[in-house]
Amino acid sequence: MGKTLAEKVLSRVSGRDVRAGDLVVVPVSRVMVHDSVIDAVMAGMRALGKERVWDRERVCVFVDHAAPAPTPVVADSHRVLREWVRGQRIATFYDAGEGVCHQIMVEDGYCEPGTVIVGSDSHSNSYGSVGAFGAGMGATDVAVALALGRTWLRVPESLRVDFTGTLRRGLTMKDAIMRVVREIGTDGARYACVEFHGVGDLPQGDRITLAGMTTEMGAKAGIVADTPEAPDWLVADSDAAYAKWVVVDLSTLEPQVAVPPRVDQVVDVSAGVGTPVDIVFLGSCTNGRLVDMHQMTELLRGRRIAPEVRLEVVPASRRQFEDALADGTIHALSRAGAVVGASGCGPCLGRQGGVLAGSEVCFSTA
């Protein structure tokens, strides 16, 4: 029996021939930590009796979830985080305004294909966009990884998604992954690795969207197959075993929208026509890139947003913001009436930068 991508990565890094269901202890190539959980992570390290991270060159720290600080309590937490980073002499630190952790981890090359990366955020699956096994974990497990440079995993079973055809004009891979979520459900990939085939040559940003949103299916990891970054050995075997196999014909898709209260309650956007909207949010690690801002600018060309609607745009990273600034996209969005926020998570987390009133409706790309 052949091996899936997850089985290949975990066999290689553990030095064992492992299969789905096996328990392994594996080294991590990176640990990512962000501001939202740093207090609990630091407490976890103290509980372990560990004062120092195992390798300061392999730890990446971000202030992105509630940034700039919206309250004095959060500001004090950020202060403690900065002091900890300085005390640990951690080399890789991105402060408020630099962008979303997942975008920067991939964009700046911190995700080594074929390795295991632990992150303190559920969407650390995003690192599978370049062939890494990225896994989001809680504060205790992240503290262990920081202190020891290794973690434990149960080798996940795998689900396979094959994409065929070509997207029609105006659609994106966000529509494609939402269609997959609709098919698999919010717990249909629980503790599994979701493999994506047929799209390895997509732009990196589209692949981040695919891998990152496997979290919405309950997945432990998501890996895009056959990417330019992946090593030659990272290829799923033709006789690998999959718990489920889904085929999505991109050419048949309509724009997709998830209707509250469930992220897997996905319908064609035509079903929502006529729904009043108070705010539109363009941003997050799945849709805050230059190409997304270009699409919004094209839709708004020669127009202003309706007076009863607010448009909030939050670039996924400073690089994406500066590229949009350089080519006039930010100016065009501003002239159309958009509010452009500091690069980061923005209102995605619901803690700052555009929190909704109880009765308001938001049309969001997050």
Segment 240-265, tens digit of pLDDT: 999 999 999 999 999 999 998 999 99
Res. 319 pLDDT band, cuts 50 70 90: very high
- Residue 196 pLDDT > 90: yes
Q: What is the pLDDT of residue 350?
A: 81
- In angstroms, rounded to a whole number, what is the distance separating the alpha carbons of residues 199 and 326? 30
Q: Give yes or no: residues 127 and 166 share one domain.
A: yes
122 contact partners, CB below 8 Å, separation of at least 6: 136, 215
Query: What total of structural domains would you count in the chain?
Result: 2
Average pLDDT over residues 73-81: 95
Res. 323 pLDDT band, cuts 50 70 90: very high
Q: What is the pLDDT of residue 4?
A: 99
Q: Give yes or no: residues 199 and 279 share one domain.
A: no
Q: Give yes or no: residues 179 and 104 share one domain.
A: yes
Would residue 83 count as lying in a domain?
yes
- Residue 94 pLDDT > 80: yes
Strands 266-268 and 256-258: antiparallel
Residue ending a domain, among 214, 249, 284, is: 249
pTM of the prediction? 0.95
Would residue 166 count as lying in a domain?
yes
Q: What are the CA-CA distances from residue 181 to residues 110, 142, 246, 266 (Å)?
A: 28, 27, 11, 8
- In angstroms, rounded to a whole number, what is the distance separating the alpha carbons of residues 47 and 9? 31
Q: What is the pLDDT of residue 211?
A: 98
Average pLDDT over residues 43-64: 97
Average pLDDT over residues 70-96: 96
Average pLDDT, the chain: 96
Would residue 241 count as lying in a domain?
yes
- Residue 351 pLDDT > 80: no
- Residue 1 pLDDT > 90: no
Going by C-alpha positions, the residue among 154, 155, 163, 158 that lies closest to residue 242 is 158
Average pLDDT over residues 285-294: 95
Average pLDDT over residues 192-201: 98
- Residue 43 amino acid letter: A
Residue ending a domain, among 179, 214, 249, is: 249
Q: Give yes or no: residues 97 and 205 share one domain.
A: yes
Q: Give yes or no: residues 61 and 206 share one domain.
A: yes
CATH number of the domain to which 354 belongs? 3.30.499.10
Give residue-wise pLDDT tens across range 133-161: 999 999 999 999 999 999 999 999 999 99
Q: Give yes or no: residues 233 and 284 share one domain.
A: no
Going by C-alpha positions, the residue among 117, 128, 106, 119 that lies closest to residue 230 is 128
Average pLDDT over residues 295-317: 95
Res. 288 pLDDT band, cuts 50 70 90: very high
- Supply the range of the domain harboring residue 41: 5-249
- Residue 255 amino acid letter: P
Give residue-wise pLDDT tens across range 26-46: 999 999 999 999 999 999 999
3-state secondary structure 245-292: EEEEEHHHCCCEEECCCCCCCEEEHHHHCCCCCCEEEEEHHHHCCHHH
What is the side-by-side strand order in the sheet with 244-249?
A: 221-224, 193-197, 158-164, 244-249
Tokens standing for 48?
């372990």
46 contact partners, CB below 8 Å, separation of at least 6: none
Q: What is the pLDDT of residue 81?
A: 96
Q: What is the pLDDT of residue 342?
A: 93
Would residue 263 count as lying in a domain?
no
Q: Give yes or no: residues 91 and 216 share one domain.
A: yes
Q: Give yes or no: residues 17 and 63 share one domain.
A: yes
Q: What percent of the chain has pLDDT over 70?
A: 100
- Residue 346 pLDDT > 90: no
Res. 353 pLDDT band, cuts 50 70 90: confident
Give residue-wise pLDDT tens across range 293-302: 999 999 999 9
